[in-house]
Structure formats: C-alpha cells, structure tokens
Amino acid sequence: MIVPMLKFELCALSSERKRLLNALQKTQLVEPVFPEEDGLEACPKGDDALQEKLSKVTKAIAFFTEQADTVQQKDKAFRASLSDTILLKYDEFAAAASREEELMALVGRAEAWSAALASIRAARNKAAARKAQLMPYLAVGEAFSAFRDTANTACFFGLIDVASLPALQAYAKEEPLSALTVYEGAKQVPVALFCHRSVAAAAGDTLSALAFTRCSFREALTAAEAIAKEDAEIKRLSSEEEAVAKEAVAELPRLKDLKVYADYLSAEEEKAELFARIFKTQATFTMRGYLPKEEAERVKAVVAGVTDAYLLDFSSPTEEDTPPTLLKNKGPARAAEFVTNMYSVPDYREYDPNAFVFIFFMIFFGIIMADIGYGLLLFLGGLVIAKRRRVNDGVKKLASILAYGGIFTVVFGALFGSCFGFSLYHFLPDPSSGSRTDVLTILLGCLALGLLQITVGYVLSAVNSIRHGHILDAVFDAFSWVLFCVGLFFAVFNFITSYFAIPVGEGVRAFFDVMTLPGVIMLGVGLVVAAVTAGRKEKLLGKFTKAFGAVYGIINLLSDVLSYARLFGLMLSGMIIAQQFNGIGLDLIAAGSIGFVFGPVVMLIGHAFNLAMGVLGAYIHDCRLQYIEFFSKFYTGEGALFTPLGSRVQYVHFSE
C-alpha cells in the first residue's frame, strides 16, 4: 500500500529554528522540499568546519576498519563483536555530541597512526625494492666499491641478459685491451668488463647494443652484505609497523563510537544543508515538505511541544505536485518491495503492485526450484539470516525473499514428488521422465501462468487509469486486452490439449467446448476495440498507424507469453542436474571401498552447486519476467522513496 501524503508548511521564529528541526529530525516523519521563491532570503550556508570534521571522522573510520579487517582474519570472536548492528534510541544517538572532545582526540591519533604506517610501509617497500635490485649480484664476492675506473682503465660492471652473453664474450676475446669476468646468474648475469681507456668508448657502444645495465651501487659492501642490511631494515620496519598497528588495534572497540559520531555529524550536516535552503525573513523561517497523512497530528504535537509561536498548515497534494512514495506493506507483500524497488520505486499515484509481485514471483520461483530438499534448505537458511538481522536492511529483505521462496519450493517439490533430485512419487506429470505428454503438459501450464500474469498486468493498468479518472483509457487500452487474453484462453484450450494429446477430464473438456465460441467472440471484440480506439487521440494518418500498432501488438503479447517457457526450462535443467549427480554418487557407492567416501561427497558438492546456480537463475529470470513481461503492461515506476529528515545515517539504526 502506498501511504497517502500531505503537504505541510511550517512558519516559525528563526530563534526556534534549531530546536524545531531537532525535534522534526527525531520523528523522521517529514521530508523537506525546497521550491524556488522570490522575495525571501535563503538561510546562510552550513559551517565548513562541520564538513571538515565529518571528513576526518570518516577517514578515521576507514583506517580503523582496515585494521579490523586484518584482525578479523585471525580472531572470529572479535569479528563478531565488530559486526554487531548499532541499534540506539535517538536520545542516545544525540548524546554523541557530549563526547566530541575525546572522539576527535581519537581521530587525531588515528591520523597520526595512519601517517606513521604509510611512512613505514613506503620505507619498507623502498628497502624491498632495493633488495630485489641487489639479488642478481649475490654471486659477486667483491664489494661494489671495487668496481671503479682507474687512471688508465675503465670499468663496466652490471647486468646483461644471458642470451647476449656469448656476443659479449666474443667481443672481449677479440679485443686485446679488455678483460671480462662473468659471475653466476640466471636470466640476468653479472659481468665486469675492464678495458683500456683508449677503447672505452667502443666498449660502451658494444655493451649498449647488448642492452647492458650498469650497476648503480657504489657501497663498500658486497651484495650479500647489502642484502643482509636491507633484510635487517625490513625487519626493523615490520616491527615498528606491528607496534603502531598494535596501538591502533587497542582502540578498535571504540570504532562503534566513531560510527555513531559520524552519523551524528551527518545528521548535523543534513540540518546545516537544510538551513542553507529553507527560506527566512528577518525574524522567521518557512519550511515546506511532505509527511504521511496519518502522522499529521503527531507532527503537530511535536511542533507545539517546542514552541507556541508557529503556523503549521496541511494540504493535499495537487496534480502538479510530485509527492514521495512511502510503502507500508505487511508480511509477504513487504518482502516483495525488495524486488519491485530494484526495478523502480512505484509512483505515488499508481497502484502498489507488491502483493501481485509477491504471488507471481514466489509461484515462479517455486516452479523453477521445485524440490522439497532444496526448499527446506532455502527456508531454514533464509529464516535464520532474517531472524539474526536486527534491522530491516537489504540482507534481511533478501533473506526473507529466500525464505518465502523456500516455502513455495517445498510446495511445488511436493507436487512433483522431488526431493534432492530423487523422484518419490508422481502427483503432477514428471518433466524429466522423457514423456512427450508430461513435458508438453508442464510447458503449456507455464505458458498459461504467463498469460494469467499478463492479464493481471492489464487489469492493473485499468486500475491505474481509473485512479487517475481516465475511464476511457481503462476500457479501450486495458480491458480490451483483458478481454482478448481471456478469450484467447477459452478459444484455444480444447484445440491445444487435443492437438498435443494432453489428457483432460471430460467435464473440463465439455466446459471448454461450450466456452470456445464465446472465447473467439471475446478475442475478436477485444482486438477490434483495441485497434479501433488506439488512435482516438491522434489525427488522420496517426489513427491508422496506431490501429496497425495495436494489431501488431498481438505478436508482442504472444512472444511475452512464450517467455514463460523459461520456467519449464530452468525447472527441467535443475532436476536433470540433480539426478545426474545422484547417479554418479550412487554408482561410486555401489562400487564399494573408497566409493563409500567419495560418493556422498560428489552428491553433496553437486547438490550445493545445483542449489546455488538454481537460486541465482531462479532469482534473475524471475525478476526478468516481473520487470519485462509483467511491468511493461501497467507499471509506471520512477517514484522517489520517502526520505525524511533524520534518515541520513549510515551505521546507526534507531530502536524507536
């Protein structure tokens, strides 16, 4: 259900502005709007210092979270303590202001620790890089300072690729005024070429052509000694990093306090931005927005509890207004909001489709999965996760979807007699039996469900038109297609069941024998009405093109119906995969010996994979049927969720 909204306009003294906004923020019942008006001066901008403070706290939270991630990998109990949901009363939340001094001091220490760790890591990376550069020279026993020029000789000491070494050796052999020393190496080989200064230029050119890399080290240390020095430096820096990190980790229990304070600052920033956008005169300010109609008296009481000097006016939104959407569903329909809102939030003035989305989504989900064992696992897993979540966030909503989906999976699994891929009995036709009749019965049943959902979509389109007072649109653009869809079902039922030799009870066949002609009439009337009236708002040629488009729409409608064949395909693939893993596992068990171990393991892994892929496929394709085949018939969407003052929090959830 979409909650009816009221517009409100509050005018009060500027001196009471802060107290009033605090009180309204606490209720989380009003969403401000900011129309442009002349003649009123905008409130001053918010304090830049507040934004800077929030930025520092946010960086501190990111720093402590990074430290927590490191600790969590080693300490599961500590991880659990950090992941607890922050649930507070609003007064406890507001009390964060009293701890500002100590929390900002903690933020300062976090900045110092972060800078220290960054400096230590940079130095350690530098030492590690230097060590990596030294490693190719490990086989050189002389100090780096030994490789230097003299008055009459030039020294070329460095690395050369092993593939180029023969060419260098050939050069040294041919040049009598040079001596080459080659050390052990892998891809890069250390070499020292000493030559007379008269041939130094030619030697340099030869080495350059061979991609020789001259050594940059000049210390009076051997490579082994230099590497040992870098190892010692890396060890020292690691110890220093560990000490700094240990200090930071000791403050991790206060991470929740920082998160509460960050949300408090966000709330203050929200009010500061509101101060900057609402209007004021010399002594008063004016605030406008929306609130749920049922909460008008409560908001009025809150304002009256702060000041007597106010004017508060409520009015109904006009057609030009665009109120936000507040959904208030219970039970199953509330779970469906997660699916609907992923596509688009309902428009304020349209019919809330979540009850129908839930029914069809769960039926389709159950058909796709259709297994008692899988359904029980989904139900129990979803229920446990949903119960453990203390707030109604995305994880809890998705878990609720899986739990409800598990129930429908059990129901359809019981109808098909399937449990972890084992066929227990046959109440409905078995789609995996290979029987043409069974396969066609289930496939056509899925298509019939699709036709039903599309028909409901047209009914909801008519409802939306009626809600807007567009009666003719409801009749010509929606009910005409409802008539077509219903007539189509009656007209083709006996023909299809007879053509595909699908067994039908005599009473059912007799009923559809009677309804075939009325079905054809309904089908024809619906199509004619839709075609003739499609261009009623157009002129001349537009009337004909619209009429042609309406007739052509039959192709789109039938292709939409065929899309529901995916229900059968996904169900069948899931059943066959489960049966194949069962067959492999049972064959291994029957082989005896080690098969008693590997057989159950194969079945366990196989069913886990099949369940995971089945749930993913069921969710994605089920959503596709809702969004494309169903919503395209009636759904406007593009609404804006109700975002009241006080909802700009990231970590905290309010218990009241």
User: pLDDT per residue over 141-174, tens digit each?
Assistant: 999 999 999 999 999 999 999 999 999 999 999 9
Cα 115–chain centre separation: 32
> What is the greatest pairwise CA distance in the chain?
118
Q: Identify the residue with better confidence: 546 or 149.
A: 149
Instruction: Check the CA dihedral 630-632-633-635 and report its sign.
Output: positive
Q: Which CATH architecture has domain 5-43+278-315?
A: 2-Layer Sandwich (3.30)
Across the range 91-117, mean pLDDT stands at: 91
Q: Which 3 state secondary structure label does DSSP give 654?
A: strand
> Rounded to an integer, what distance in angstroms lies between the CA atom of residue 310 and that of residue 318?
24
Residue 320: C-alpha distances to residues 248, 317, 323, 355 (Å):
55, 8, 10, 28
CB contact at 8 A, 171 and 257: no
Contacts of 185 (CB under 8 A, 6+ apart): 136, 139, 159, 162
pLDDT at 549: 81
- Whole-model pTM: value is 0.81
Q: In what order do the strands lie in the sheet with 153-161?
A: 178-182, 188-196, 153-161, 213-214
Amino acid 543: pLDDT: 74
Between residues 211 and 547, the one the model is more confident about: 211
How much is the pLDDT for 87? 83
Looking at residue 410, what is its pLDDT? 97
Q: Would strands 652-654 and 86-88 be described as parallel, antiparallel, or unpaired?
A: parallel
Residues 360, 343 contacting (CB under 8 angstroms):
no
Helix (H, G, I), strand (E, B) or coil at 205: helix
> How many CA atoms lie less than 13 Å away from 139 in the CB half-sphere?
14
CA 239 vs CA 73, 537, 561, 569: distances in Å: 20, 79, 67, 59
* CA dihedral over 225, 231, 235, 240, signed as positive or negative: positive
Q: What is residue 456's predicted lDDT score, i.e. its pLDDT?
A: 96
Could you give phi then psi for residue 280, rounded to 5 degrees? Answer: -150, 155
Token pair 């171990």 in the structure block, residue: 597
Distance CA 86, CA 77 (A): 17
Please tell me the predicted confidence (pLDDT) of residue 390: 74
The predicted structure's pLDDT at residue 41: 45
Q: What is the CATH number of domain 135-232?
A: 3.30.70.2750
Tell me the pLDDT band of 84, cut-offs 50, 70 and 90: low
Amino acid at 539: K
Backbone φ and ψ for 163, nearest 5 degrees, come out as: -70, -25
Euclidean distance between CA atoms 567 and 384, whole angstroms: 28
In the chain, CATH 3.30.70.2750 covers 135-232
Which pLDDT band holds residue 37 (cuts at 50, 70, 90)? very low
**Is pLDDT at 9 greater than 70 in this prediction?**
yes
Tokens of 142: 């002389």
DSSP H/E element including 176: none
Interval 12-37 mean pLDDT? 86
The whole-number average pLDDT for the span 520-532 is: 91
- Rounded CA-CA distance 264/420 in Å is 50
Cα(122)–Cα(218) distance, rounded to whole angstroms?
23
| pLDDT at 280 (0 to 100) | 79
Helix, strand, or coil here: 154? Answer: strand
Is the predicted pLDDT of residue 580 greater than 90, yes or no?
yes
Contact 68, 82 (CB under 8 A): yes
Q: What is the pLDDT of residues 334-392, one digit of tens each?
A: 999 999 999 999 999 999 999 999 999 999 999 999 999 999 999 999 999 988 887 77
Provide the pLDDT confidence category of residue 38 given band limits of 50, 70 and 90: very low
Residue of 640, 651, 649, 551 lying closest to 31 (CA atoms): 640
Note the pLDDT tens digit of each residue in 602-638.
999 999 999 999 999 999 999 999 999 999 999 998 8
Amino acid identity, position 347: D
pLDDT, one tens digit per residue, over 233-264 is 999 999 999 999 999 988 888 899 999 999 99
CATH 3.30.70.120 in the chain, residue ranges: 5-43+278-315
pLDDT at 566 over 80: yes
Of 250, 156, 151, 261, nearest in space to 201 by CA: 156
Would you list the DSSP string of 422-479? EE---SS--TTS--HHHHHHHHHHHHHHHHHHHHHHHHHHHHHHHHTT-HHHIIIIII
Q: Considering Cα of 212, then 216, then 220, then 224, what sign does the dihedral take?
A: negative
The 10s digit of each residue's pLDDT in 42-81 is 444 556 788 899 999 999 999 998 888 777 555 555 555 5
> What is the average per-residue pLDDT within 477-481?
93
Please give the span between the terminal C-alpha atoms of the chain, in angstroms, as a whole number: 22
Structure tokens at 490: 């009656």
Q: Give mean pLDDT, residues 466-472.
A: 90
Spatial separation of the C-alpha atoms in residues 557 and 455, rounded to whole Å = 10
Provide, rounded to the nearest whole percent, the portion of the chain with pLDDT above 70: 96
Q: Judge whether residue 82 has pLDDT over 70.
A: no
Q: In what helix (H) or strand (E) does residue 301 lie, and over which residues does it extend?
A: helix 296-306
Rounded mean pLDDT, 394-420 = 93
Residue type, 191: V
Please state whether beta strands 418-419 and 422-423 pair in parallel, antiparallel, or not at all (unpaired).
antiparallel
Indicate the average pLDDT of the chain: 90
Coil, helix or strand for 197? Answer: helix
Q: Is residue 423 a contact partner of residue 430, using CB atoms and an 8 Å limit?
A: yes
Q: Alpha-carbon distance 391 to 446, whole Å?
A: 37
Pairwise CA distance, residues 106 & 63, whole Å: 12
pLDDT at 649: 86
322-334: average pLDDT: 91
